[in-house]
Structure 1
Amino acid sequence: KVIGVLDAESKELNAFSEEDQRLLETLASQAAIAIENARLLETIKRSSELQKLFVSILSHDLKNPLTVIKGYTYLIKRHADEKVQIYIREMQKSIEKMNILIANAKLYSQLKEKVYKKEFEKRYLEDIIKETLKDLEKKAKEKSIDIIYKAEGTYPVNANPTLEDLFLNLIDNAIKYSPENGKVEIDIGDREDKWRTSVKDWGEGVADELKEAIFERFERGDVDVKGSGLGLAIVKQIVDMHEGRVWVENNPEGGSIFFVEMPKMK
C-alpha cells in the first residue's frame, strides 16, 4: 500500500551513498507509519462522535415521541373494549422495552466514556441486591418465578451507582431466560479478599463457544448471540470499572450460573 512519496534531490552526481539511501528508506517507512496512525486516530475520533450522536438521538429524539405514544395508549385504554385493551397492553410492553433499550444505550456510552469513574463510596451488596429484587418483583411474578436470596451478611464494597445497574441486568437476564414457574437463586460467598456473587437459573443455558462473547456484544460483531442486547455488555463494563470479574458456568441441573467477583471494602 502506497502512502506517499519521499523525494530527495541533489545537483551533484551520485550524491547519495548506500547508507544515505538506507536512512531515507527508514525515514520514509517511519513517516508512512506516522501518517497511517494519524488517519486511524481521525477515524476513531469520527466513530466516537458518531456514537455520541446516535446515543443523543436515542435519548432525546426517540424518547420524547415514545412518551407521547405511551400517554395516548393510557387514554385509549380507558375507553376501549377488552379486545382492544389486549392490543394496548402489548403496545405498552413494547414501549417499555424501547425505553429500557434507550436507557441502556445511554448508560453503555457513559460507561465507555468513564463518566462514573470517580463516584465511589462504601456500599453494601445486600442492600443493592435486595433493592434490585424489589424493582424486579413484578416481572418475576408475571412468570411465576420464585426469587431466592440465600446470602446472610452485608458485604461492604467500594462502589459507584452503576453497581445497581449491574445486578439489575444480571438478575433480569436470569428471569428473562427462566421457564414459567421456575426459580432464580442468588448467593454471596467469601473468597479471601473478594465477595463472589452468584445468580443461578434453570433456563436455556449458554453454549460454551459463547461464554465469553455474550459479555462483548459490541467488541465481537461477528458473533450472533440470541437476545444478548446491551445488558451483559453493561455488566462487563461495570465489573471492569470496579476491578472485578464476571463469567458464566453451566448449572449442573440445567441452565446457567453467572458469577461476579468484587474486591472487599478496604
Structure 2
Amino acid sequence: MNSLLQRQVSKYLDEEALEDPKIKAFLTAIDESYNNSEEQFNMLQRAMRISSDELFDANQQLRTDVMYQKDILDSITTAIQALNLKEFEKENGEFEIKDLAEHIREQSEELQIAARKQEQLLKNLENKNQVLTDYAHMVSHDLKSPLRSVDTLISWIKTDNYDSLTAEGKEHFDMILKNVEKMDALIEGILNYSTIEMADHGQYQVDTKYMVQEIVDLLVIPDGIEVEISEKLPVIKADKFRIQQLFENIIHNAVKSIEHEGKIEINVADAGELWKFEIKDSGKGIPERHHHKIFKIFEKIDTNQNSTGIGLSIAKKVVDFYGGQISLESKEDVGTSFYFTLPK
C-alpha cells in the first residue's frame, strides 16, 4: 500500500473498519490510483529532464556552428584582402591568386555543409519538441483519468455516509479531495508549460487592464489584501490565452506571499518599443539565494504543500515567447516586484 495512504489509514481507521469489504475495495482503488499517478508523473518528469538536456546540447552545438561560420567568414575576408594586395603589388602573383581562389572555394563548400548540418539540427529539434508535446498530452490524460475516478468515488462515499462520519473522518475526506485537486493542478500546469510555444490561438487586441481586473475578480483574494490596478495598462496585440497565463501566475504568486494583510500593485511604464509591466506585493519577500532558480520548473522556494513549482516558469516561458525579459527585485519582510517586458 502507498506509504502516504498507509499512514492515513492507520491514523483514522480501526481494525474493524478495515475488515469491511467495501472499505477494502475503496482503499485498493485509491492505492492503485496513487501508484499509477506517481509512476506516470515520474515518467513525465524524466522525459522533460531528458528533453531539457537535449535542447541544451543542441544549443551548444548551434553556438559552435555559428562560431565556426564566423571563422570561415573572417578567413574569406582576409583572403580577399590578401588577394587585392597581391594583385596590385606583385607581377608574378598569378599562382598565389589561383591558390587563394581554391582556398575560398573549399571554405565555401565547408560553409554550405555546416549550413546543411545546422538546418538538419533545427529540424530534429522541432521534431523532438513535437514529440514532447504529444507525450505531455498523452501522459496528462492518463494521469487525469484515475484522479477523476478517485475524486468522484470519494465524493460519493462522503455524501452517502456524511451523517455517520465523525468530524475527524470528514476532515480526512476533505484532505484527500484537496490532494486530488493539487495533483490535478500540477498536471494541468505541466501541460500548459509544455504547450506554451506550440499552441496557436491567434493574435488579438488584448486589453490588459480589463484582463487583469477579470483575473482579480476570479481569484480567491482574502479581504485583507488590497489590489491596485493602474489605469494606464495598455492594449497590446498578442494571444489572450498566453497573456492571461502570464498575469494570472504572477498575481497568484503575489497573493500567496501575503500572509495576513497587504497590497498588490499592477503598473506599467513606456519603454520605447516595449511595455514594461510591474507586479508588486508587500508580502514576505524572496531570499536572494533563491532568485537564480525562481523561474525554473518544479522549483519551490517555500514549504507550501499547495504550490506546484510551475507557475513562475510558465510566466517566464510566455515572456520568452514574445522576446521580452523578466526579472525580480525582492527584500525579505518587505515585498517583491516582478518586472517583465512585452512588445507594443
**C-alpha distance 120-238 of structure 1, shift in aligned 2 (>3 A):** farther
Task: Choose the corresponding residue for 1:124, options 186, 189, 207.
Answer: 207
Matched, 1:156 2:234: yes
Deviations 1:15-73 (CA, angstroms, capped at 9, x unpaired): xxxxxxx99x9899889968976885686456425422431223311112211211122
Q: What is the CA deviation profile of residues 164-183 of structure 1, one whole-angstrom value per residue up to 9, with x for unaligned ones?
A: 111211111223333x3142
CA separation of 1:106 and 1:65: change in aligned 2, threshold 3 A: same
**What's 1:181 paired with?**
260
**1:146 to partner: Cα distance:** 2.9
Q: Deviation of residue 126 (structure 1)?
A: 2.2
Larger radius of gyration: 2
Residue type of the alignment partner of 1:207: E
5+ unaligned residues in a row in structure 1: which ranges? Answer: 1-21, 219-223
Q: Quick one: which amino acid aligns to residue 196 of structure 1?
A: F
Matched with 2:329 is: 249
Q: Does the alignment pair 1:239 with 2:316?
A: no
CA distance in 1, matches of 2:271, 2:107: 53
* Cα separation, 2, equivalents of 1:59 and 1:228: 15
Quick one: distance in 1 between partners of 2:126 and 2:317?
Answer: 21
Q: Does 1:101 align with 2:186?
A: yes
32 and 154 in structure 1: CA distance in 2 versus 1, 3 angstrom threshold? closer
Distance 2:194 2:149 in 1: 25
Deviations 1:80-132 (A, max 9, x none): 4221211221122222222222222222222122524x3322x3222211211
Alpha-carbon RMSD = 3.6
- Whether the 8 Å contact between 1:155 and 1:195 is mirrored in structure 2 is no
TM-score between both structures, scaled by the size of structure 1: 0.69
One-letter amino acid matched to 2:144: K
Letter in 2 for 1:68: S
What code does the residue aligned with 1:257 have?
S
Equivalent pairs, count: 231
Matched residues, percent identical? 22
The structure with more helix, counted as a fraction of residues: 2
Q: Does 1:171 align with 2:251?
A: yes
Counterpart Cα distance in 2 of 1:41 and 1:243: 19
Structure 2 alignment gaps of length 5 or more: 1-102, 302-306
- The change in CA–CA distance for 1:214 and 1:191 in structure 2 (over 3 A counts) is same
1:262, CA displacement in angstroms?
Answer: 3.5
Retained in 2: the 8 A contact 1:174–1:203? Answer: no
Q: 1:111 to 1:153 in 2, by over 3 A?
A: same
Instruction: Confirm or deny that 1:63 pairs with 2:144.
Output: yes
Q: Which has the higher contact order (CA 8 A, sep 6+)?
A: 1
Is the contact made by 1:136 and 1:172 (CA closer than 8 Å) also made in structure 2? Answer: yes
Task: Write out per-residue CA displacement over residues 199-233 of structure 1, whole angstroms, 9 at most, x where no aligned residue.
Answer: 3142241425634x422439xxxxx6536722112
Q: Please tell me whether residue 196 in structure 1 is matched to residue 277 in structure 2.
A: yes
